[in-house]
Structure 1
Amino acid sequence: MILSQQEKVEYTEKMAEKNLTLIEEFILLGFSELPNFQGFLFVVLLVIYVSILLGNGLIIVISNMEPALQIPMYYFLANFSFVEICYTSVTLPRMLMNIWRQKRNISLLLCAVQLCFFLILAVTESFLLAVMAYDRYVAICKPLSYLLIMNHKMCFQMVIGSWVTGIPVLIGQTYQVFSVPFCGSNKLNHIFCDMPPLMKLTCGDTSGDEFFIYFDCVLFGLIPFLLILLSYIRILSTILKLPSTTGRYKAFSTCSSHLIVVCLFYGSGFIAYLQSKSSYSGTTDKIFSLFYIIVTPMVNPMIYSLRNKDFIEAMRKLFSKCVG
């Protein structure tokens, strides 16, 4: 039987509808390929999550209670620690629940909510890291004008700006991702609902969506990173001009903790996001994701507290009050 052109189009559309599976939920595979280590993994992740809550919570408490730490540097650090707690709480509790219940399904709505909050908090952290770099730049390069430039109003506006700048774009980005049909398997080869593994399950041509992902990476990742880089180029230039070795060491030591966190966060984030749909590797992405959702929030309190004499002294005072 010879079909007309219109009938061919209708037949093709019907076949496409049959092959298109309506996905109502995803299955987060996580580390299901390691069935014998699920109990061990649960304990490790639980310990890490508790340490993140306690460590970053301690930074927030001490930064607000100790008068000696009532300066912009610790104000930004306290806000950064709060973002780390929220950032981790979007992903880790769900991972723990999935391992405990051995039930890894998540609805499209919850997946979209998790992705949206994760992106907003990640962008907030990115901007806060840039704000903290600017704070160090002003402190080292313009010490006489530091308190004038970094006044309370300026600090508050920079923190609020870090929180709200990306919200409209990221809500739109999330809507765009979930407005594209998903087909085939509903198994999400990842530890949470993230952009790269979701794009892997979408149907048809997603080059436009990938373009917007790269655009967001440049706008909310690369630009803050370049601002951080520019700040540290200026800082390094100023430090090298200092006459005493002690002065150079002291100036650089105030920046080293921030630099370590920047390298961990941006290094793992860029590797995870700046890859195409075709080159996406689930195992590699899961490993690098652990760095920016677990490792950075976990080591942040240790990096900042153990390398900071003022913070160590403030902790001693707090503990002595508690014991006394």
Structure 2
Amino acid sequence: MTAARTAATITAGMSPWARRTVYIAAGALFLAGLGMSGYYLTMLAMWLGVSGWVAWLLPVALDAGAVVGVVMWVTGEQGSDIERYGRTLARQMIAASIVGNALDRALTFAPGPTSPIGLENRGLELLLDRTRALFDLLTGPDAVAAWALLVISMAVGIVFPVLAYRMAHALILVRKEADAARLAAPVTAPAAVEAEPETPTATPEPDIAPEPATAPEPDVATGPIPRVYVHDSADYEPGSPAWQARYDALPGDTKVAKLEHWLTEEWALGNEPVLLTADRVVGGNRTASGVKRRLADRGIVPPSERTAEPQLTTV
């Protein structure tokens, strides 16, 4: 995929009002799902005999861990260790959260007290009583109805962790698309201010002897002399005069195009700067990882990823 096609695809994405709508609606749904899932997991911890504020550590461990995994998964470079680890972490934490929410709904569904608050000191005895009551209900004369209601109750508990997980995923994707669209926007140079021509003053011409006629010189096109880019590998502070001078001299109309040229020159010289340093060249945020993939599609790779040519030995 070329840089031009990528930029066109990104800028044709969500409009600002649609992005704001997703932020508001998905944010509200994420908080609702996270709150209900956290409540059910806290109740589960109390059913298991964990009392006080310690019971809240269970939803923090599971739901917050799932959010961390989603962030690593979505924002990590494709195929990187960060992306793979984040995907595994998110799936494991959301699966554990779903099971925990379903167990709480099952224990609450059993006959008897519907809340473990104030009963945590009974510990294992409370859990055994709830398990016996649930077993008696599911094997009693109304077993079919009890099973149907139990499934519905557990399904309601599963909705909230799944909702929180999916809304967190949506928020991060929309934010990532907005950053990509901003980085792919063309860089517009400030308009040059034209100086007013000075009014020539008449001066008396001295008497000069006429010179012999010479052949007319060819017309030369006038205009601003284009700035020639000389490759510069220095790591300047973004915004400094030296950084701005190199940025303006780099060929290309976008940050992506400028960084493609800079990385190509670096790799051709045998250098292999880290992606963070490459991002600083154009003042980008995770621009270098996408540029690296696009260059790889065209067969341009850093020195460490080039296939070594076999050495011929003579006998």
TM-score by length of 2: 0.29
